[in-house]
């Protein structure tokens, strides 16, 4: 029996990046400080003492990078806006030089036939707002809406695809519970209040975008990772369900009208103290699309020593699993599982994989990076995406993370996720073998689209990709 065919129509191929990880120029042209500028200066927080200040020089080299995107035949580029470059104090008077940069960036994309996709918040809250409580202050909803309106006023005429938040569970969890990301806050109540306020922003931001009309598509993104129990024991299953509630359900379920996942994690009931009358409705929104951002999966076992979750992740290396250079298990089937699952949430009509990729120890030799492991990672995960699509999941695009190597948060510049290698001494760019492979795949897929034909989801069936 012939395997189901991928309908190639309207499927988009892109590449993603973010302002705090690439722009650098943190003190140029009126930009205000962000919480990551401050956090990265604290000893021991970031590998090598690296800071976003260096970046990849995107602020100065954006035309070079866009020329690479065009040369590779990638027609969709996801990037984020630095809130503190646009509003140095977080609110109040815009910084015209900051707005001018994004105005030029969008025009440069369009001039090259590249569709810009913008994330409005990719973790880099203005430091001035953190000093007023940041995500723990419910005023953040209005601060965000005013900021978004400032950006939309300038760019909404040319940019149609918008994402409100980048991975809210990451910046609330790592930044407000574990304290390992900016702003370095810890504790359950700090976490829960940031979760609720981010959930309010998520929905309000989608509604704000949808109120503009004129072809604007309102989306937001979710970090996802399937969570499985180490053993089929009641305790391990309970532990896996608790971790799954945080990692996969915590933000999409209030948005889709299911409320917070207290069934799997009763301690979440404590979020009630931050809920005001009418919030349940305020949390609901029906996005035009969602972004799924997935890299790996987690195997967990019960652990009474871990507060609240009573769960502990099991090292993939101890499971003899194949991993990336930063120890993340390589498990493409998990992306297929996530896509099938998220497609079942009510109100989800269109999904894009807005981030997927891997860090490997890339070696530059004679101007070339032979990153075969990354090509194999991309191939297997793209096949998982196309397999889900053949089975009716409305997944309509794939964005590789990331365009260039960049500031990988606590890993600093040591973890290289890019399709393009950055020599951080010279800031020269070197296109990796995986980028050429991705470029050829896009070319062949678009050739099918032009003939309105379809193909098996096994990527190599599209042509002689090796």
Cα–Cα distance for residue pair 80/252, rounded to 1 Å: 21
Binding window for ligand GCO (CB under 6 A); candidates: 163-171, 184-192, 301-309, 368-376: 163-171
Q: How far is CA 281 from CA 136, 145, 192, 200, in A?
A: 20, 18, 18, 10
Contacts of 83 by beta carbon, 8 Å cutoff, 6+ apart = 34, 90, 120, 121, 124, 125, 126, 147
Query: For residue 393, is it left (φ>0), alpha (ψ between -120 and 50) or beta?
Result: beta
* Closer CB to ligand GCO, 122 or 429, in the complex: 122
* Closer CB to ligand GCO, 167 or 236, in the complex: 167
* Closer CB to ligand GCO, 13 or 401, in the complex: 401
Query: Which residues are designated catalytic?
Result: 167, 355
Binding mask 173-212 for ligand GCO (x = CB under 6 A): ----------------------------------------
One residue of 34, 161, 166, 439 binding ligand GCO per CB under 6 A? 166
102 touching ligand GCO, by CB under 6 A: no
18 touching ligand GCO, by CB under 6 A: yes
Half-sphere exposure of 442 (CA within 13 A, CB side): 23
Nearest approach, Cβ of 290 to ligand GCO (angstroms)? Answer: 14
One residue of 23, 65, 124, 355 binding ligand GCO per CB under 6 A? 355
* Closer CB to ligand GCO, 6 or 292, in the complex: 292
* Closer CB to ligand GCO, 40 or 293, in the complex: 293
167 touching ligand GCO, by CB under 6 A: yes
One residue of 36, 102, 260, 401 binding ligand GCO per CB under 6 A? 401
One residue of 51, 130, 223, 439 binding ligand GCO per CB under 6 A? 223
One residue of 23, 244, 329, 408 binding ligand GCO per CB under 6 A? 408
Nearest approach, Cβ of 404 to ligand GCO (angstroms)? Answer: 12
With CB under 6 A, what is the number of residues at the site for ligand GCO?
A: 11
Nearest approach, Cβ of 32 to ligand GCO (angstroms)? Answer: 21
Residue among 134, 253, 146 at smallest CA distance from 194: 134
* Closer CB to ligand GCO, 229 or 418, in the complex: 418
Can you name the residues that pair with 420 across neighbouring β-strands?
404, 431
One residue of 13, 144, 147, 417 binding ligand GCO per CB under 6 A? 417
* Closer CB to ligand GCO, 229 or 397, in the complex: 397
One residue of 81, 140, 170, 441 binding ligand GCO per CB under 6 A? 170
Nearest approach, Cβ of 196 to ligand GCO (angstroms)? Answer: 21
- Which residue carries 């098996």 as its tokens? 456
Read off the tokens for 116.
């810009």
Contacts of 462 by beta carbon, 8 Å cutoff, 6+ apart = 441, 444, 445, 448, 455
Nearest approach, Cβ of 111 to ligand GCO (angstroms)? Answer: 27
Cα–Cα distance for residue pair 261/240, rounded to 1 Å: 13
The vertex-110 CA angle with 385 and 101, nearest 5°, equals 105
Half-sphere exposure of 92 (CA within 13 A, CB side): 10
293 touching ligand GCO, by CB under 6 A: yes
Binding window for ligand GCO (CB under 6 A); candidates: 165-173, 177-185, 247-255, 381-389: 165-173
Binding window for ligand GCO (CB under 6 A); candidates: 85-93, 164-172, 382-390, 449-457: 164-172
Residues that bind ligand GCO (CB under 6 A): 18, 21, 166-167, 170, 223, 293, 355, 401, 408, 417
């Amino acid at each position: 029996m012939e395997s189901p065919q991928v309908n190639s129509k309207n499927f988009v191929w892109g590449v993603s990046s973010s302002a705090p990880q690439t722009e650098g120029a943190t003190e140029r042209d009126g930009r205000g400080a962000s919480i990551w500028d401050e956090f990265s200066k604290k000893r021991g927080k970031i590998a090598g003492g690296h800071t976003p200040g260096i970046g990849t020089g995107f602020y100065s080299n954006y035309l070079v990078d866009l020329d690479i995107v065009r040369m590779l035949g990638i027609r969709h580029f996801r990037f984020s806006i630095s809130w503190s470059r646009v509003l140095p104090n977080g609110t109040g008077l815009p910084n015209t030089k900051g707005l001018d940069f994004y105005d030029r960036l969008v025009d440069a994309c369009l001039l090259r036939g590249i569709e810009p996709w913008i994330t409005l918040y990719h973790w880099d809250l203005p430091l001035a707002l953190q000093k007023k409580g940041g995500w723990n202050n419910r005023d953040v909803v209005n601060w965000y809406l005013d900021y978004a309106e400032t950006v939309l006023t300038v760019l909404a005429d040319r940019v149609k695809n918008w994402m409100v938040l980048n991975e809210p569970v990451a910046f609330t969890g790592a930044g407000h519970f574990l304290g390992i990301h900016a702003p370095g806050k810890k504790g359950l109540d700090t976490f829960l209040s940031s979760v609720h306020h981010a959930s309010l922003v998520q929905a309000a931001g989608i509604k704000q975008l949808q109120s503009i009309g004129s072809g604007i598509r309102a989306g937001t993104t979710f970090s996802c990772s399937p969570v499985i129990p180490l053993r089929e024991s009641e305790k391990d299953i309970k532990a896996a369900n608790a971790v799954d509630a945080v990692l996969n359900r915590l933000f999409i379920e209030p948005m889709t009208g299911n409320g917070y996942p207290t069934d799997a994690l009763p301690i979440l009931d404590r979020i009630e103290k931050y809920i005001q009358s009418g919030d349940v409705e305020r949390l609901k929104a029906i996005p035009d699309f969602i972004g799924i951002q997935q890299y790996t999966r987690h195997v967990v076992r019960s652990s009474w020593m871990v507060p609240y979750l009573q769960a502990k992740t099991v090292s993939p290396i101890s499971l003899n699993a194949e991993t990336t250079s930063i120890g993340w298990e390589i498990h493409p089937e998990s992306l297929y599982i996530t896509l099938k699952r998220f497609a079942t949430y009510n109100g989800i009509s269109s999904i894009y994989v807005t981030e997927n990729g891997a860090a490997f120890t890339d070696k530059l030799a004679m101007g070339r990076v032979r990153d075969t492991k990354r090509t194999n990672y991309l191939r297997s995960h793209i096949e998982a995406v196309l397999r889900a699509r053949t089975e009716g999941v409305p997944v309509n695009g794939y964005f590789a993370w990331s365009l260039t190597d960049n500031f990988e948060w606590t890993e600093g510049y040591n973890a290289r996720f890019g399709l393009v290698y950055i020599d951080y001494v010279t800031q020269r760019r070197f296109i990796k073998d995986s980028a050429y492979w991705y470029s050829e795949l896009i070319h062949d897929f678009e050739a099918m689209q032009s003939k309105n034909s379809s193909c098996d989801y096994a990527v190599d069936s599209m042509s002689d990709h090796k």
